[in-house]
Structure 1
């Protein structure tokens, strides 16, 4: 018993040391390779090709993929810290990682051995890079209402339909695509399957969507017209499991979005703390005025609470536990914290916060997306309540 405990303690120390090294490397990368270019790239809504190539070299696209498939095999807790720090510098960069990682982990958790051996090593290097194709023009939160179909013809599926708000779909090359393999099935989820697809004839990127914030990243509308996919690309090899497979991936997605909320909240706090010590009114820095001090105190508390909730959800995911409630709590609270802190930072900056010369204006535009994406915050509260009742029956 003592030997086992010693081994576990050693593993924990090594994991902690590895996390410190990775986060230090990431901080240097963000400081030198991302931060100096954010303002220009964001203003031009330009995809950060050079930054993405450097992220490939760092192995970030394989951060959660198991080492046996060429990935880093990091914990979800470490991954959340990576996304937190990325988002504090530029949230769009974290989005490029997030959708890809959800796709990869959905395959790692649900794919056949052959599928994992064939695709995960290429996903780990970023050779295959993409995301998940879920949302449709008439279907957002209610995924069972999707209309994209995959009709089997021999050894292929023929896909027809449309998707929208799909991240990594213009410059990426691979998607985990949610389709109806049996449109008449009841309940509807029994007719839903997940296909791992690569771009080819019949797959068209219709347009890149203009957005209020979250600039630089490719968010697009897609159309599929008699697009053919080998039957071997059916994730897990059995039809009708697609919704269950992708919902487990969305738990990870919500932890990611929560971490982004933490990063936005932290960045807004940092900007407010710095500016409030430089700006003076009535003969003293505005941080010494009680009205500003109250705002700073609330902002700092939101950041810490959001970070703790996100870490708790990440650790539950790492333990293999069902964590839709924990991920929902983290996503709801942390993204609201990001939104509230961005507004408060703008108020503290006054007119300067409304100027495109300051980072606060970008944080203010990026933050609202987090309360909508990966399941609206209204939906998260419903999930939390349902799980609360289920876990505490009378």
Structure 2
């Protein structure tokens, strides 16, 4: 049966990426987790091999291929560990803002270095007092001659420490009614006076993924760094959230698949009462239940990716996938840890890290409660 979006070219690309990750990621990942940071050297190696922003046009250094190649990248990085999500955010969340809304001059200035890994990007939406309620952000950018003066604070920013280019959601018109019409996007570059990093946040999981606070104090940003039109920032963010949430669903699905296989391998090798743990009916039933849920998730997800690639509006279905697959992955992590017994609680076993890393997927890119609200609205409830 023909796959809904993958071709032989995608499979060849996957094999090349796996070979690269076997050499450049897997042997170093535990150290990155201990150091609480993925090295910039890894980013530039990804860029050198064509594994960053593959769908960017060739004119700006990319390969101009379809989004299926990005799906392959995200799946293979998730197999290494969820802490690799910063690369997916760069490739498939932040850079698409530039490809969609930047001027030709801005694209020429920013995109080539995003493709090589010399420039790492971040998206600064969330504030200490504002998460999903983006219309009520408090960071302001007031025009002053040829500049915007940016003031405010952002938190939970993925790639916050490494980032060289930050797309910042801010209020260029704090008095606008309705409030969302005052939101704009401004690109802040590393080194601009008034832009600084706050704390590198110490998280329960995702240890090697750099998450930080960003601070803007009378930060003067050239007006040429406005992304798109003033007052359209909220609409731009809504336009791009479909792909971001789909990325989270992909990560959750792959994490669940990986946890299941890891656990199957473990219970086959672990013996209790004179036989492998896999021979006990409880173990078999638990694994069968998980395998069924995971297989159903994969079927739903693959057709959804194909529809997204075809340009369809699948906001409702993506919201369903985001909440359902992340909850499924959380349940899988708990069940798989239980089947590992005491060893599942040891850091040397991969399931322990998965157990720590997966819960946040139900929170970022819009909480699962927000997903249900979107679905309910689109159902006419």
Q: Same fold (TM over 0.5)?
A: yes
Counterpart for residue 245 of structure 1: 236
Deviations 1:221-279 (A, max 9, x none): 0110111111111112x210001112222211111111110121112111101001001
119-128 vs 140-149, which moves further: 119-128
Counterpart for residue 347 of structure 1: 338
Deviations 1:96-149 (A, max 9, x none): 332453111012122223322332222222222112010000000101110000
Deviating runs (4+, > 6 A) in structure 1?
12-15
Q: CA deviation at 1:314?
A: 2.2
* SS state at 1:64 partner: coil
Q: CA deviation at 1:172?
A: 1.7
26-35 vs 75-84, which moves further: 75-84
Separation in 1 of the partners of 2:221 and 2:306?
36
Summarize the Cα distance change of 1:183–1:306 in structure 2 as closer, same or farther, 3 Å threshold: same
Separation in 2 of the partners of 1:379 and 1:84?
25
1:162-177 equivalent positions in 2, closer than 5 A: 162-177=153-168
Counterpart for residue 223 of structure 1: 215
> Which residue of 141, 162, 171 corresponds with 1:150?
141
1:133-212 equivalent positions in 2, closer than 5 A: 133-199=124-190, 200-212=192-204
Separation in 1 of the partners of 2:221 and 2:10?
39
RMSD: 2.0
345-354 vs 73-82, which moves further: 73-82
Summarize the Cα distance change of 1:355–1:218 in structure 2 as closer, same or farther, 3 Å threshold: same
Counterpart for residue 290 of structure 1: 281
> Which residue of 90, 96, 111 corresponds with 1:105?
96
Separation in 2 of the partners of 1:343 and 1:14?
32
Counterpart for residue 129 of structure 1: 120
* SS state at 2:227 partner: coil
Deviations 1:49-83 (A, max 9, x none): 33223212122221232333221333333322321
1:61-140 equivalent positions in 2, closer than 5 A: 61-140=52-131
Counterpart for residue 277 of structure 1: 268
Separation in 2 of the partners of 1:366 and 1:309?
23
Counterpart for residue 226 of structure 2: 234
Please state if 1:23 is matched with 2:14.
Answer: yes
* SS state at 1:115 partner: helix
The unaligned stretches of length 5 or more in structure 2 are none
Separation in 1 of the partners of 2:74 and 2:5?
21
123-132 vs 268-277, which moves further: 123-132
Q: CA deviation at 1:370?
A: 0.5
Summarize the Cα distance change of 1:122–1:51 in structure 2 as closer, same or farther, 3 Å threshold: closer
Summarize the Cα distance change of 1:189–1:88 in structure 2 as closer, same or farther, 3 Å threshold: same
The unaligned stretches of length 5 or more in structure 1 are 1-8
Counterpart for residue 4 of structure 1: none
Counterpart for residue 380 of structure 1: 371
Separation in 1 of the partners of 2:370 and 2:5?
38
Residues 150, 180 of structure 1: 8 Å contact kept: yes
Summarize the Cα distance change of 1:112–1:53 in structure 2 as closer, same or farther, 3 Å threshold: closer
* SS state at 2:161 partner: coil
Summarize the Cα distance change of 1:368–1:197 in structure 2 as closer, same or farther, 3 Å threshold: same
Separation in 2 of the partners of 1:81 and 1:15?
9
Q: How many residues are aligned here?
A: 379
1:3-82 equivalent positions in 2, closer than 5 A: 16-82=7-73
Separation in 2 of the partners of 1:309 and 1:378?
20
Counterpart for residue 338 of structure 1: 329
Separation in 2 of the partners of 1:88 and 1:288?
27
Separation in 2 of the partners of 1:261 and 1:132?
21
Q: CA deviation at 1:14?
A: 12
Residues 76, 315 of structure 1: 8 Å contact kept: no
Q: CA deviation at 1:376?
A: 0.6
Q: TM-score, normalised by structure 1?
A: 0.91
Separation in 2 of the partners of 1:310 and 1:195?
33
Residues 206, 222 of structure 1: 8 Å contact kept: yes
Q: TM-score, normalised by structure 2?
A: 0.94
Summarize the Cα distance change of 1:14–1:145 in structure 2 as closer, same or farther, 3 Å threshold: closer
